A = this chain, B = another copy of it.
Amino acid sequence: MQANDSSDTSGQAPELPERSGKKRAVPHISIQSQSNDQDSMVLGGPVQTGMTEWLKGTGEMSDVVMSSRARAARNLAGFPFPPAASSADRSQIMEICRRCIESLDRDSGTTIRWFDLRNSEPMDRRLLVERQLMSRQHARGRYANGQGGGDCPRGVAIIEPDERISILVNEEDHLRVQAIRSGLALEACLNEINRFDDGIEEIVDYAFHPQFGYLTACPTNVGTGLRLSVMVHLPALKMTGELEKVRNAASDMGLAVRGLYGEGSQAAGEFYQISNQVTLGRSDEMLLREIEGEIVPNIVRYEQHARAQLMTESPLVLEDKVFRSLGILRAARLLKPDEALEHLGLVRLGVVCKVIPEVTLQTVHSLLLLIQPGHLQRALGVELSQADRRVSRAKLVRERLGSQSR
């Protein structure tokens, strides 16, 4: 590998596509950048979570809504969608997008960190997935059609230090702009991605159809290309047996319900990602009004009601459950991921119900992130076997929650 500073803009940069009526500027590269010939560690040294905004446990309805996320799928006009694009096309797309992103206006005090995922370390990619900065699919570099691979040009830009924004290049679509925040804050997320989206659209032409809207690789994203999602915590509805009712109602309203760690993951701990499935024929405002204005507040009220019911009707049963989970987490020497999640979910319930005063929401949320394999390994700086991860996961949890012995 050669030293190849990607902040060097001279020479071979592909011409930016023209778009009538839009401001056109050669991106000025003023960012912290990282190409595949540099050490591609994102999070050097001990893993920190203090700055990660969506772990703070603050914001609207944060007793139930852990975080909100908005994502816009966009594609450049004149190029095939990534799964169908040639390697040369993808390289060109990536370079256009990267330079475009680097030229965007940002808040003062923030930096954009660019990751070229080609030849990046699997551990780094895993960290980015665990931090919800990119999808598992993007980390694997494979498209639904089986194309892609380690040398396929793809990248992700992250706005640091609070990691509220990330932009994926050459995932299923050319560009996916994502914003994530604590609590119920979909409108703020949407405003944030719109700002970046507008900034990008001033530079490049998007694939856009006057009737259908933004065109995307997968038909479910055509239209606004927008996905809004919230991470909710519904342990009381689980206990009162009403969870399935709420899940079914959400499905009936066209929402997808997934586990904490996204598609295919288990819902241990009663953490659920709720998101819209279809965007065609719906405006941003309509989606926002439905999800943030009606559906999520209703789910939150159901959960709050169930919690109040548990606290009134069987406070001891609730206390017993949450303290046992805290006791196990403070005592265990081996912890599997699902079990850790389950107990962290109950501890979180104890914290928000003010039954466990000595633990903060941020501690619980941080642990949800830090107990994942990538973070455990990064914290110790070595690859760990599954058995070793159980040991270090238990140790980390004991330390963070204040174990009594050893």
Contact = CB atoms under 8 A, between A and B. Distances in A.
Copies of this chain: 2
A398 to B, nearest CB: 9
Q: Considering residues A317, A319, A402, which has the most beta carbons from chain B within 10 angstroms of its beta carbon?
A: A319
Contacts of A320: 332-334, 394
Contact of A323 (B326, B358, B405): B405
A404 interface: yes
Contacts of A405: 323, 326, 356, 358
A161 interface: no
Interface in A310-330: 316-317, 319-320, 323-324, 326-330
A389 to B, nearest CB: 13
A317 B334 CA distance: 7
A391 B319 CA distance: 11
Contacts of A330: 327, 331, 404
Nearest to A402: B404
A156 to B, nearest CB: 37
Contacts of A404: 327, 330, 402, 404
A334 B316 contact: yes
Interface residues of A, number: 22
Interface in A299-313: none
A331 B329 CA distance: 11
A331 B394 CA distance: 17
Interface string A336-355: 00000000000000000000
A167 to B, nearest CB: 43
A350 to B, nearest CB: 10
A179 to B, nearest CB: 38
Contact of A324 (B326, B331, B391): B331
A357 to B, nearest CB: 8
Interface string A370-406: 0000000000000000000001001000000010110
B316 A324 contact: no
Given A324-B328, A328-B324, A405-B323, A333 B358 contact: no
A326 B331 CA distance: 7
A332 B404 CA distance: 15
Contacts of A332: 320, 323-324, 327
A314 to B, nearest CB: 10
B328 A333 contact: no
Contacts of A334: 316-317, 320
A402 B330 CA distance: 14
A154 to B, nearest CB: 40
Nearest to A358: B405
Q: Considering residues A317, A320, A326, which has the most beta carbons from chain B within 10 angstroms of its beta carbon?
A: A320
A327 B332 CA distance: 8
Contacts of A356: 405
A397 to B, nearest CB: 11
Q: Which 6 A-B pairs have the closest CB atoms?
A: A327-B331, A320-B333, A327-B327, A323-B331, A320-B334, A319-B333
14 contacts: A316-B333, A316-B334, A319-B333, A320-B332, A320-B333, A320-B334, A320-B394, A323-B333, A323-B405, A324-B328, A326-B405, A327-B330, A327-B332, A327-B404
Given A317-B334, A327-B328, 10 more contacts: A320-B333, A320-B394, A323-B331, A324-B328, A326-B405, A327-B327, A327-B330, A328-B328, A328-B331, A330-B404
